[in-house]
Amino acid sequence: SQTIHQWPATLVQPVGSPLSLECTVEGTSNPNLYWYRQAAGRGLQLLFYSVGIGQISSEVPQNLSASRPQDRQFILSSKKLLLSDSGFYLCAWSTGHQPQHFGDGTRLSIL
């Protein structure tokens, strides 16, 4: 069966520090991968999606970036975090027209 792992579960970072969130999927090949952010009291905002290794599309301009170094690995990064980067970050995977499945999420607080 397919599983998705996302870590860390919670993270507290100072403004201006770098960020690296990792997501891995097991049990499937060539999945579509997604990074979302959910701010407090708001809906899910798609940040990045990837249809294959090295293929990243960005939905919104921001100071975050994403990379897919391996088929089942998706990384969200930032060189310098802003206060507005606080939120609940979710990684998800899907194949074809099947629904997405989410990781447990990372709760990021910027101080």
Partner 1 sequence: RKEVEQDPGPFNVPEGATVAFNCTYSNSASQSFFWYRQDCRKEPKLLMSVYSSGNEDGRFTAQLNRASQYISLLIRDSKLSDSATYLCVVIYNSGGYQKVTFGIGTKLQVIP
CB of 20 to partner 1, least distance (A): 20
What mask of x and - would describe binding to partner 1 in positions 26 to 45, judged by CB under 8 A? ------x-x-x-----xxx-
Which two tokens mark 59?
A: 């939905």
Residue carrying structure tokens 């939905």: 59
Q: Decide: is 54 part of the binding site for partner 1 (CB under 8 A).
A: no
∠ Cα 104 95 87 (to 5°): 30
Q: Decide: is 9 part of the binding site for partner 1 (CB under 8 A).
A: no
Q: Which is nearer to partner 1, 65 or 100 (CB)?
A: 100
Q: Which of 66, 50, 48, 68 is nearest to 58 (CA)?
A: 48
Cβ atoms < 10 Å from Cβ of 65: 15
* Residue ranges in contact with partner 1 by CB under 8 A: 32, 34, 36, 42-44, 46, 49, 51, 57, 88, 90, 94, 97, 99-105, 107
